[in-house]
Structure 1
Amino acid sequence: MDLPLALPRRQTGFREAALFHPRSVVLLADPALPEAALLAANLAAGGFQGQLHSVGLAAAGLTEAPSIAQLPEAPDLAVICLPPGRQEQGMIDLAARGCFAAIVPVASPDLAALSERTGVRALGAHSFGLCLPGIGLNASLSHVTPKPGRLALLTQSPSMARTIIDWAAGEKLGFSHVIGLGTNHGLGFALALDWLARDTRAGAVLLDLRRIKNRRMFISAARATARTRPVIAIRPGGHQGGSQMDRGAAADAVMEAALRRAGVLRVSGLEDLLSAAETLARLKPGQGQREAGVAGDRIAIVANGQGPAYLAADAVLQGGGRLADWDNSVRGPLALMLDQPLASLGNPLVLPPSQSHRLAEAASLVAAVRGVDSVIVVHAPLPGSGAEAVASGLAAAAKATRGAPILVGWLGEAGAAPARRLLEGGIAVFATPEAAVRGALHLAADRRNRAAAAELPPREVLELAPDREAVGRILEQARTDGRRGLNELEVLQILQAYGQPVVPGLQAADSEAAVRAAMRLGFPVVLKILSPDLPRKTEVGGVALGLKDVASLRAAAAQMLKQVHQLRPDARLDGFLVQKLAGGGQRGHELRFHLGDDPMFGPWISYGRGGTASDFEPDVAYDLPPLNRNLALALIRRTRGARLLEGFRDHPAVDVAQIADTAVRLSQIAVDFPMIEDLIINPLWADPQGVTALDASAVLRPSGTLAQLAISPYPAELARPWTLRDGRSLLVRPIRPEDAAAHAEAFRSLTREDVRWRFFNQLKELPAAQIVRLTQIDYDREMAFVATEARAGEPPRTAGVARLIREPGRLEGEFAVVTLPEWKGQGLGRHLMQRLMEWARSQGLKTVTGQVLADNRPMIAFVKALGFTVTRSDADDDVLEARLSLV
């Protein structure tokens, strides 16, 4: 939405608009602090359109007041540049004057507690400050004044902020927002991202991530922002913390997985961040988003020199991209334009130096080709004049393209500088072919991430009916025993309770019991030591494979006990586990799933090759629970080894969907039992006959602690049956992504009048992006109940939907409800609204509102019957506002 110049009526307490669109600012400063003078100078020089005041510091351009209480008006925003010992009193005085938004650019060891005591919420501590160039606000520690533009920067590091601002000034890029979070002990990423998601002035968003306070709020806000604009993230120090994949480097892989789920592009260094910003900040809305289901990495190269063109082509292939292809329907027009034979007009398309003036024309033609996702124009220096004319033509072509975006690699330095300056004002331009390719590949990666976050999954859902009581008894017994580790048999029983096939096995107290167990199972068997303290049994000789008779079993048991007692005399032993030898001598795949925990993002799931050396296997993919089948399949396919599962030489083909189902079951265990800290299935045996868990280990969290998922899980507990007046039965449950196809079908069955009343427009078809938005919801901030009818042999049919969306940080939600024609007059709409109100109260909401077209008499009567008051909208005479208090 476009923000108003004037703020709405003042309210008590913190308001986001007071921080991100203030009318008046006060600087509370101690002149002895070195930051004070810079802050005052930047505030005065920024051209702020509102009022600027100061307390404690006399500075040109700021109106000084003796105290906060004597300010002529309550400021919207305060910049607190005071020593830690004076900050609390300053915040108390601000709150008393009616100011609850602040920036703390200096040390504040107890900022979170100060905010809790005073009600003043702040960016900081050690915040770089806040720049809003569109309104001339520069309340920052910047060394240059950022220009207005469409880049938004959220950063924890003042040095990173200054670096990016300095680079942007050289590239003639401007900012809509620069927001310094500092140590992130005050206001954090989620609040800022939620604001940017609604502010149309923000284009591409850059994130400098170090510490995230609330994982779920961050993912939710990042996903909301990435739905409408590119979001690019960098994490300095992400690879520090250890060398083992599942310990140190896992933290970096987990962050990348979390950002991928949110649709955020993760880059690995400052050069990549600036390259991605250069590319994505220049694009017009919608560029690069041409065809659904396309990776976006088909790149065309147009150049005026063969060597630079081939360097660009090499960079495309080395970076994982593809060279776009075109047929004679494209070569024909190119041949006419360039007077060259068809055979020479492939990709790269190399023009003779004398034809450099036609680079823009050729790029425009290639950009219109359906199989091209981006075009890179590489210009090498030429003798004589004319470069400026070529640059002007390329700038015009890049701005005018309605097809693929055009990026430019303008090579050289001394002679190229004037022409490059012509380009830098409006399009993505780079100094080398490799840098231009990197920009195009960032564009492709951004497209893939955002498309994956908005992918419409198929209808199929792995319906689980786990025996949660059985799992609860196993975990309770471990707690009673005072242990956190589970033995292998207990973990396999947990997996079985979720429908996971496991290798048949029996517990044996001693070697003779092991013999009896083997006789029941049938030789050959596997013998394992059973202990909650030995998750890596092979390291102490705790596994014997392929035992074919009683004698070999007895000998293996004796040797195993001797070795375990020698190496781990302190380990608790629960006897032996005797298992049927899996695989029947067939070739198969040893795989591994791991449910672990990250300090920043909580539970994660990794997948890769299994076996004893799996800890050193670099080919591992990560994701966050909850997972559905689609996400689980994508997790598996991100590994290089996934190709082997389709069959290769002596590796048999296996059913990848069954492997994915294992990930879904593991994900549901993480949702249902947050007291589990670590669970490993290794190996998971996959062969043409199926998928079987052969070994597993698990560790519980310390007593009294539970995990919190970064992504809100599906609230299955809210599903309830309901009977219509005519006796038909429906299931009323929260909507889920797999409802996408049914949602589209339900829309097509609405009458034209129903469509206009629900969407305030005559839509003929719901766009795919809208279906994603309606079915992939964040259950922490939104609820949609869908009523479905089960039909034998067919997918469930939608009968009605009711939705309630709450604004982040507010106690108010906006509703929408629709009942399909066949189901009207059955009381379904009332029931759906009652379920919404029930959910709203459980979330602490105080008010529910909704907009109704003035001619929608049935809906007006309906909401009045539910107790809503209906009033005319101030903004639109054709719209009424319905409001209901829940308290």
Structure 2
Amino acid sequence: MPEMIPRSVTPGYQARALFRPRSLVLVADPAQPEAAILAANIAAGGFQGTAYAIGPEVPGLVPAADIAGLPQPPDLAVLCLPPAALEPAMAALARRGCFAAIVPGPAPGLAAVSARTGVRALGQGSFGLCIPAIGLNASLSHIAPSPGRLALVTQSAALARAVLDWAAAEKLGFSHVIGIGGNATLGFAASLDWLARDAGTGAVLLDLRRVRNRRQFVSAARATARTRPVLAIRAGSRVADPSGLADSVMNAALRRAGVLRVSGLEDLLSAAETLARVRLRPVATPAGGALPQTRIGVVTNGIGLGHLAADAVIAAGGQLAELRPESLTAFSLLLPPGWGPGNPMSLGPAAGPRLAEAAAMLAGLPEVDVVLALHAPAPGEAPPGAADVAAEAMIAAARAGAGRAAPILVGWTGQATAGRQRRAMAEAGLAVFATPEAAVRGALHLAADRRNRAAAAELPSREVLEFAADRGAVRQVFAAARAAGRLELTEEAALAVLAAYGIPTVPGRRAAGPAEAADAAAMLGFPVALKILSPDVVHKSDIAAVVLGLASPRAVREAAAAMLARVRAARPEARIEGLLVQRQAARALELRLRLGEDAMFGPWIGFGQGGTAADLAADEAYDLPPLNLALAGQLIGRSRTARLMAGYRDHRPANRGAVAEALVRLSQLAVDFPEIAALTINPLFADADGVLAVDAALALRPAGEHSELSIPPYPAELARPFRTRAGEVLTIRPIRPEDAAAHAEAFHRLDPEDVRRRFFSPLKEMSPALVARLTQIDYDREMAFIATRQAADGTDQTVGVARLIRDPGAAAAEFAVVVEQAMKGQGVGRHLMERLFEWGRSVGVQEVAGHVLADNRPMLAFVRGLGFTLKRSAEEEEVMEARLSL
């Protein structure tokens, strides 16, 4: 189905006005330091529209006296004004119908000014906006970027200039350079939403400092990363948080979005060099399995370079390709006498053009995913032109296999004699580097990008962990704590919350003093553990407030009396609420599960080694809620503790499935109760039989405060039953990632004519990427309701789906609906559409539209019956446009 961009039904900011302006105005105070640079860049850029200037007199810009006197409302305004003059100018622009602006200078309170005037802006402190394809250079750049397929979205003007200077030397061009500056009103989300739909953008670079709206950012980043590489760098992250926790949470957020995080400017440039020029061949991901590792083949004219590259691959956790015997035999004619083929493979210093021939042969092998071709200056190439011939052969080899063979990355070392050849290869579009290590980084970036984007779109199994949490019990526990005037729960209360969500907890009883503790122990059974109950004692082991292995009532009484005395002496200010007696669990692998809050990305979940040395072990992997079983399994796998869980020596494997379930239950608790500030389960014992929470701490937020997730949770509350005209009861609910297999099966049950009418082509198979796109949706910006029945094997079977997609914040949305042949005439399609309308109204959709083939008479009758108006598309004669006002 051709994409339809929803129309806005109200005047105001339009993305097209900012990112594809047909006219602009520079409103500048010549005394402002940025004014002259902006004026010169706009005038010299060759802008294809009309450019006006108010303030400075600049050749090439049409002068105007003021905003009110402009001959036409401009699409875009560049406001280079002192802060006090900004609001009057923005108000004047709004009166003329201009709602997009760039603010390069200081602008305190820009968000509030934007809200009052309706004009949305890049800034404050925006580097500006470059769109080379239309000749727009409204930026503070010292160099005009060339047209190309790289997009840069940056908060730093210095970083923008550095990247542009590097790109000019590397012969890389840009589709967009977007300076969002302080990210006050128009920032990452708005930029990414545009770039996600821009056919001229091949890769996106992000300079992240501050994300203003976490949910919009993750949503837009994920939409962009579905179709092109997105790289991110964050300067100052360790300065802001030396612990590295915020950095780890950002990595988790970017991973969920399919964005590749790089560590510094050198890494960013290396990744851009690679991802802007080459792509890995697509590979099939095994059902339920991980993406296979990228296999690297190395060929060189000097074995020293080859060994450096091989070392770098292995040290970084990469994989050298294992060449088959028949593949090795094919290289024998290219090798010097007495030299044997291998990986790395050296052709000797006299290789010349044979290096390119060998690289092309490696690229054609099925066991090689990417080729590193490494060249060192050689005596035989000293005559003028000899090295140029070798470089030209490499260019031809890389071009010949583009899109079919494995990509060739070139490491062309040296400077005095090699610099010219590197420049020639860069101009020809090759990914070329000055050192073997840099070439390896490029190959690993390719692998990491493919792995990240594949993980973000991985199709999970059908398995869904469905459980009935006792939310009422949790609310009572929280209410009791608040009524007592505290935000920190006792261990007993925290364990009760976990138990309400089905996380197994060790049996325990509260006791007021030593005698009651002895009685409680006798009821629980020996041996027991004894702990202090105090909201002011978080780390009990620090003051010996935990005693294990108590085997008799007398031992419990004596231990309790001694513990109370120790705690009162060590922490006289601590509130002591009694003692907790627990049946002592058998020792097992100790894990720690944590729920916390990040200032930028909100709630996070941590998993790793538990016990008293958990912080010293520094083994914690992070993700964002909500989690399903597949994501929980991936989170476990990213920790070093995963290897211990697999079993070692005389230790049996731990039940990994039970640990994943505990993580999903913890995630659901975070979704259901955003008033939780922090929660730690430590230790969570894990063995072959399952898991057991032994200790827990939980803190609430002050009354009225709630967290906001970066990723919208599954809206389970929208599931409802529906009775068909034949009396069958179906479930109508939002689609979820675990519906992938059922969705693919439903496609195969569709009539071929229904497929043609739905997708506007005779589609025979849905690719895994398309299935992921249709089942892994962002519930903030789109909805897909499915009608399901239970199959004989107990799984859900999808028999119909209706979908509504809108641009973020747009008042119009596009619909699609299809019902399998056996369910037609049962009212399913109409009910699905009515559910879509209900959801659309709840999120502010005012108009629903769609495309219908003109020969699809049943669908035309169906939408007429729902109240849609129909007219023939002005762009496609065989298509009808259907529209309905909500």
Output the TM-score relative to the length of structure 1: 0.97
| Residue of structure 1 in register with 2:271 after alignment | 276
| Residue of structure 1 in register with 2:352 after alignment | 356
After TM superposition, give the deviation of residue 869 of structure 1 in Å.
Answer: 1.1
Matched-pair contact (CA < 8 Å) for 2:150–2:174? yes
Higher relative contact order (CA 8 A, sep 6+): 2
CA distance in 2, matches of 1:448, 1:240: 29
CA distance in 2, matches of 1:428, 1:452: 25
Matched-pair contact (CA < 8 Å) for 1:800–1:820? yes
User: Please, what is the CA RMSD of the aligned residues?
Assistant: 1.8
CA distance in 2, matches of 1:471, 1:373: 52
CA distance in 2, matches of 1:177, 1:603: 33
| Residue of structure 1 in register with 2:680 after alignment | 680
After TM superposition, give the deviation of residue 652 of structure 1 in Å.
Answer: 2.2
Say yes or no: does 1:745 pair with 2:740.
no
Within 5 Å, which residues of 2 pair with 1:174-213? 174-213=173-212
After TM superposition, give the deviation of residue 53 of structure 1 in Å.
Answer: 0.9
SS, match of residue 13 in structure 1: coil
| Residue of structure 2 in register with 1:570 after alignment | 573
| Residue of structure 2 in register with 1:622 after alignment | 622
CA distance in 1, matches of 2:679, 2:8: 53
Instruction: Select the residue among 443, 447, 468 that pairs with 1:444.
Output: 447
CA distance in 2, matches of 1:410, 1:856: 58
Say yes or no: does 1:373 pair with 2:356.
no
Within 5 Å, which residues of 2 pair with 1:88-127? 88-127=87-126
CA distance in 2, matches of 1:787, 1:191: 33
After TM superposition, give the deviation of residue 289 of structure 1 in Å.
Answer: 3.0
Q: Which amino acid aligns with 2:760?
A: F
Matched-pair contact (CA < 8 Å) for 2:76–2:99? yes
Matched-pair contact (CA < 8 Å) for 1:316–1:322? yes
Matched-pair contact (CA < 8 Å) for 1:240–1:249? no
Say yes or no: does 1:873 pair with 2:873.
yes
| Residue of structure 2 in register with 1:592 after alignment | 592
SS, match of residue 691 in structure 1: strand
| Residue of structure 2 in register with 1:788 after alignment | 788
CA distance in 2, matches of 1:699, 1:8: 46
CA distance in 2, matches of 1:815, 1:8: 13
Within 5 Å, which residues of 2 pair with 1:653-664? 653-664=653-664
Matched-pair contact (CA < 8 Å) for 1:290–1:403? no
CA distance in 2, matches of 1:647, 1:808: 47
Matched-pair contact (CA < 8 Å) for 1:210–1:236? yes
After TM superposition, give the deviation of residue 338 of structure 1 in Å.
Answer: 4.2
| Residue of structure 1 in register with 2:216 after alignment | 217
SS, match of residue 240 in structure 2: coil
| Residue of structure 2 in register with 1:533 after alignment | 536
SS, match of residue 41 in structure 1: helix
Matched-pair contact (CA < 8 Å) for 1:78–1:103? yes
CA distance in 2, matches of 1:408, 1:708: 46
Residues 539-567 of structure 1, C-alpha deviations (whole Å, 9 max, x = no match): 23221111111222112111211122122
Matched-pair contact (CA < 8 Å) for 2:45–2:137? yes
Give runs of ≥4 in structure 1 deviating > 6 Å.
1-4, 7-11
Choose 62-71 or 11-20, whichever is displaced more.
11-20
After TM superposition, give the deviation of residue 809 of structure 1 in Å.
Answer: 2.3
| Residue of structure 2 in register with 1:315 after alignment | 312
| Residue of structure 1 in register with 2:421 after alignment | 419
After TM superposition, give the deviation of residue 44 of structure 1 in Å.
Answer: 0.7
Say yes or no: does 1:259 pair with 2:262.
no
CA distance in 1, matches of 2:675, 2:39: 51
CA distance in 1, matches of 2:494, 2:8: 59
Q: Which amino acid aligns with 2:373?
A: V
Q: Which amino acid aligns with 1:287?
A: L
CA distance in 1, matches of 2:211, 2:336: 58
Say yes or no: does 1:466 pair with 2:459.
no
CA distance in 1, matches of 2:213, 2:16: 22
SS, match of residue 772 in structure 1: helix
CA distance in 2, matches of 1:31, 1:2: 47
Q: Which amino acid aligns with 1:261?
A: R
After TM superposition, give the deviation of residue 793 of structure 1 in Å.
Answer: 3.5
Residues 451-487 of structure 1, C-alpha deviations (whole Å, 9 max, x = no match): 0000000000111210111111111111212210011
Q: Summarize the Cα distance change of 1:487–1:231 in structure 2 as closer, same or farther, 3 Å threshold.
A: same
Matched-pair contact (CA < 8 Å) for 1:288–1:447? no
SS, match of residue 798 in structure 1: strand
| Residue of structure 1 in register with 2:72 after alignment | 73
Matched-pair contact (CA < 8 Å) for 2:411–2:432? yes
| Residue of structure 2 in register with 1:405 after alignment | 407
Matched-pair contact (CA < 8 Å) for 1:2–1:200? no
CA distance in 1, matches of 2:255, 2:7: 37
After TM superposition, give the deviation of residue 91 of structure 1 in Å.
Answer: 0.8
Residues 837-886 of structure 1, C-alpha deviations (whole Å, 9 max, x = no match): 11011111101111111111111111111111111111111111111110
CA distance in 2, matches of 1:721, 1:570: 56
| Residue of structure 2 in register with 1:18 after alignment | 17
Say yes or no: does 1:522 pair with 2:525.
yes
Within 5 Å, which residues of 2 pair with 1:47-66? 47-66=46-65
After TM superposition, give the deviation of residue 20 of structure 1 in Å.
Answer: 0.3
After TM superposition, give the deviation of residue 695 of structure 1 in Å.
Answer: 0.5
SS, match of residue 301 in structure 1: strand
After TM superposition, give the deviation of residue 643 of structure 1 in Å.
Answer: 1.1
SS, match of residue 272 in structure 2: helix
| Residue of structure 1 in register with 2:396 after alignment | 396
Q: Which amino acid aligns with 2:870?
A: V
SS, match of residue 144 in structure 1: coil
CA distance in 2, matches of 1:801, 1:263: 26
Q: Which runs of 5+ in 2 are unaligned?
A: none
Q: Summarize the Cα distance change of 1:801–1:194 in structure 2 as closer, same or farther, 3 Å threshold.
A: same
CA distance in 1, matches of 2:871, 2:622: 51
Q: Which amino acid aligns with 2:360?
A: S
Percent identity reads 59
CA distance in 2, matches of 1:877, 1:192: 33
| Residue of structure 2 in register with 1:637 after alignment | 637
| Residue of structure 1 in register with 2:845 after alignment | 845
Instruction: Select the residue among 279, 282, 287 that pairs with 1:289.
Output: 282
CA distance in 2, matches of 1:665, 1:8: 41
CA distance in 2, matches of 1:75, 1:682: 60
Say yes or no: does 1:300 pair with 2:300.
no
SS, match of residue 67 in structure 1: coil
CA distance in 2, matches of 1:703, 1:149: 52
After TM superposition, give the deviation of residue 792 of structure 1 in Å.
Answer: 4.8
Output the TM-score relative to the length of structure 2: 0.97
After TM superposition, give the deviation of residue 264 of structure 1 in Å.
Answer: 0.2
- Count of matched residue positions in the alignment of Structure 1 and Structure 2: 874
Q: Summarize the Cα distance change of 1:210–1:139 in structure 2 as closer, same or farther, 3 Å threshold.
A: same
Say yes or no: does 1:491 pair with 2:529.
no
